[in-house]
Chains A and B, each alone.
Chain A
């Protein structure tokens, strides 16, 4: 393979592997910025993936090419409903955030496979017919050299997702909603004294994480796994959480981290086709995101460790 085609392959597979992580990591950022730790991202992705695949299989004939896009939204909505469990448990019922998040992770795969069996009478779905594929981005792909690497045979969705991370950054740091969201994650008492509805903001944060995690799962299922089974989502949610932390709870940081993790994943997936990394044990690439996250956390020592009130329940006193 020549250098350009290697780069094209690496770039496009990096984008494809990263996009679901980016969406989910942004979701986690919203939740944790509001002060609710969300270790349940994995479970939310499972539900998003499941719903999208079921929708895709059921309606592909009806919606044709548009199916994956609509299924994406279906996955997002399913994610919202599923994350409501976490929101009610942690915000209203004062449950421990870790326990509640773990419940999501325990519940999602079992529930999804259970429903798959109820619907299809077998343990995994058929492959979907309408998936997100590779395509060229018009005009940009004509740029010499770079155009071929970045914009031909690539994932349009991934570029949209990268754009979404900038939008999320604007929402979190440049709008009233974002300011209030962050305030309840940093110091809910202070926010409360200023008349900000702590519970409302926290519900918003968690439900947005449901939406984004659901989208992430739906995207993964329709661009990478192409069907749904118990092992469709195996650690992507936790990797997204790692990207969120590595990105310092900043959507753009999360996006860049997710791109990096996606790069590591894509190398481990396509590495065998590339001569000079063929001999690197795949395990290094597989564990890189997790090892790096731990190292970064340790190196943060004394610096930014996430929103200050993250993981705490707020009980309004009277």
Chain B
């Protein structure tokens, strides 16, 4: 019962509360919330182009959320998804530009792998610091977000040769052989930027589902996350497993960055802020209760909200309202005690026998 409560009722009620409070805010500034939401849905799902763009938006969210979830399964908070995704973006574009002339069959997988590997390596740094020095992964990943942000700008400005660049702040477009875009997906969705990254995300939903549910590594990850002491008593290696989980987590964020680079934008341009897909991915994972299926649904929902933002704008409502709604939803997910309190009778405290001392 409790588990179902966590997995279904809390997310669903959180979304409802988020939308209701959002509606209230819209009404307070003098607009019609129903029209706003209508226009939002129209903008994100109204035609094949917008549906394509919505799925495209969901792609990196799914991947970063999976990354957050894997780290969370082992008991860690990977707040560094933005920085890792950024590194994946840079890594994949770098590979694509350096090996420009290679055939697609090598260049595309190579570029993707470059993005994944760059971030797997970056992901294990907080993992290693955690297991050997007990350094808070929350702090190290946050700090690394900024380090990677500045380093990515540095690479763009000072390391990449002129031949890569188009202007000072962005690279030239990658060759078709490195692109995740395909004609059939583009045509199917009325010219949207939907690309093979979405299919990769779907594949990784299944892979991570299998990893967590059906592999011994997944079993070790879950065991450590739920009870590290019992895991230790059972002979599971905490160090190895935690570092592996962080590598997978970082790798997924890197893949998210690679799909942005090779799919959505086709180049890299300098960023002034941490990538939104990092924290949005964390939000998706929290709403999806960490389960791959939940993540898929949550990512679609958030993509609908995000791509519906221009629709809000058309209705005269500042589009930032959708991010406000997302934040409110996560507030309720985080404060699930509130929802539990309202929909269940306060669970009776377990009766404990005398504490033996």
Point out residues on A near B: beta carbons under 8 Å. Answer: 37, 39, 85, 88-89, 93-96, 98-100, 102-103, 105-107, 109-111, 113-114, 117-118, 230-231, 234-235, 238-239, 241-242, 245, 281-283, 286-287, 290-291, 293-294, 297-298, 301, 305
Contact residues of B between 286 and 335, Cβ < 8 Å to A: 286, 318, 320-324, 326-328, 330-331, 333-335
Q: What residues on B are CB-neighbors of A105 within 8 Å?
A: 279
Asked if B95 is an interface residue, CB under 8 A from chain A, the answer is no
Q: Is the CB of B320 within 8 A of A95?
A: no
Q: Is the CB of A39 within 8 A of B138?
A: yes
Q: What residues on A are CB-neighbors of B139 within 8 Å?
A: 241-242, 245, 293-294, 297
Q: What residues on B are CB-neighbors of A89 within 8 Å?
A: 331, 334-335
The answer to whether residues A294 and B324 also contact, given A95-B337, A102-B79, A245-B139 and a CB cut-off of 8 A, is no
Q: Is the CB of A99 within 8 A of B286?
A: yes
Q: Is the CB of A107 within 8 A of B143?
A: no
Q: Is the CB of A118 within 8 A of B318?
A: yes
Apart from A94-B337, A95-B334, A100-B331: 15 A-B pairs, beta carbons within 8 A = A37-B138, A89-B334, A95-B331, A100-B334, A102-B283, A103-B334, A106-B323, A110-B322, A117-B318, A234-B273, A235-B146, A238-B145, A238-B146, A286-B150, A287-B151
The minimal Cβ–Cβ distance linking A312 to chain B, given in whole angstroms, is 13
Q: How many residues of B contact A (CB 8 A)?
A: 48
Q: Is the CB of B320 within 8 A of A117?
A: yes
The answer to whether residues A231 and B143 also contact, given A111-B324, A117-B318 and a CB cut-off of 8 A, is no
Q: What residues on A are CB-neighbors of B282 within 8 Å?
A: 102
Q: Is the CB of B135 within 8 A of A294?
A: yes
Q: Is the CB of A106 within 8 A of B283?
A: yes
Point out residues on B near A: beta carbons under 8 Å. Answer: 25, 29, 77, 79, 129, 133-136, 138-140, 142-147, 149-151, 153-154, 158, 272-274, 279, 282-283, 286, 318, 320-324, 326-328, 330-331, 333-338
Q: Is the CB of B335 within 8 A of A100?
A: yes
Which among A96, A230, A281 is the interface contact of B334 at CB below 8 angstroms? A96
The minimal Cβ–Cβ distance linking B323 to chain A, given in whole angstroms, is 3
Cα–Cα distance between A242 and B147 once the two chains are bound (Å)? 13
Can you report 15 A-B residue pairs in the complex whose CB atoms are below 8 A from each other? A93-B338, A98-B79, A98-B138, A99-B286, A100-B331, A102-B79, A102-B330, A111-B320, A113-B320, A231-B273, A242-B139, A286-B150, A291-B143, A297-B129, A298-B129
Q: What residues on A are CB-neighbors of B273 within 8 Å?
A: 230-231, 234-235
Q: Is the CB of B331 within 8 A of A85?
A: yes
Q: What residues on B are CB-neighbors of A88 within 8 Å?
A: 335
Select from chain A the residue with minimum beta-carbon distance to B338. Answer: A93
Q: Is the CB of B147 within 8 A of A287?
A: yes
Interface centre among B135, B274, B335 (most CB of A within 10 A): B335
Cα–Cα distance between A241 and B62 once the two chains are bound (Å)? 29
The answer to whether residues A298 and B135 also contact, given A114-B320, A117-B318 and a CB cut-off of 8 A, is yes
Cα–Cα distance between A230 and B273 once the two chains are bound (Å)? 10
Q: Is the CB of A103 within 8 A of B143?
A: no
Q: Is the CB of B140 within 8 A of A287?
A: no
Cα–Cα distance between A158 and B50 once the two chains are bound (Å)? 50
Q: Is the CB of A95 within 8 A of B135?
A: no
Cα–Cα distance between A217 and B140 once the two chains are bound (Å)? 23
Q: What residues on B are CB-neighbors of A95 within 8 Å?
A: 331, 334-337
Q: Is the CB of A283 within 8 A of B150?
A: yes
Cα–Cα distance between A245 and B136 once the two chains are bound (Å)? 11
The minimal Cβ–Cβ distance linking B351 to chain A, given in whole angstroms, is 13
Q: What residues on B are CB-neighbors of A235 within 8 Å?
A: 146, 149, 273-274
Q: What residues on B are CB-neighbors of A282 within 8 Å?
A: 154
Cα–Cα distance between A209 and B138 once the two chains are bound (Å)? 19
The answer to whether residues A118 and B29 also contact, given A98-B79, A99-B286, A102-B79 and a CB cut-off of 8 A, is yes
Cα–Cα distance between A109 and B333 once the two chains are bound (Å)? 20
Q: What residues on A are CB-neighbors of B146 within 8 Å?
A: 235, 238-239, 287, 290
The answer to whether residues A114 and B324 also contact, given A105-B279, A231-B272, A294-B140 and a CB cut-off of 8 A, is yes
Q: Is the CB of A110 within 8 A of B150?
A: no
Cα–Cα distance between A98 and B77 once the two chains are bound (Å)? 8
The minimal Cβ–Cβ distance linking A300 to chain B, given in whole angstroms, is 8
Select from chain B the residue with minimum beta-carbon distance to A43. Answer: B327
Cα–Cα distance between A37 and B137 once the two chains are bound (Å)? 13
The minimal Cβ–Cβ distance linking B141 to chain A, given in whole angstroms, is 10
Cα–Cα distance between A301 and B337 once the two chains are bound (Å)? 35
Q: Is the CB of B318 within 8 A of A283?
A: no
The answer to whether residues A99 and B129 also contact, given A231-B273, A242-B143, A294-B140 and a CB cut-off of 8 A, is no
Q: What residues on B are CB-neighbors of A96 within 8 Å?
A: 334
Select from chain B the residue with minimum beta-carbon distance to A297. Answer: B135
Q: What residues on A are CB-neighbors of B286 within 8 Å?
A: 99
Cα–Cα distance between A107 and B323 once the two chains are bound (Å)? 7
The minimal Cβ–Cβ distance linking A224 to chain B, given in whole angstroms, is 15
The minimal Cβ–Cβ distance linking A237 to chain B, given in whole angstroms, is 10
Q: What residues on B are CB-neighbors of A238 within 8 Å?
A: 142-143, 145-146
The answer to whether residues A287 and B142 also contact, given A102-B330, A103-B331, A114-B318 and a CB cut-off of 8 A, is no
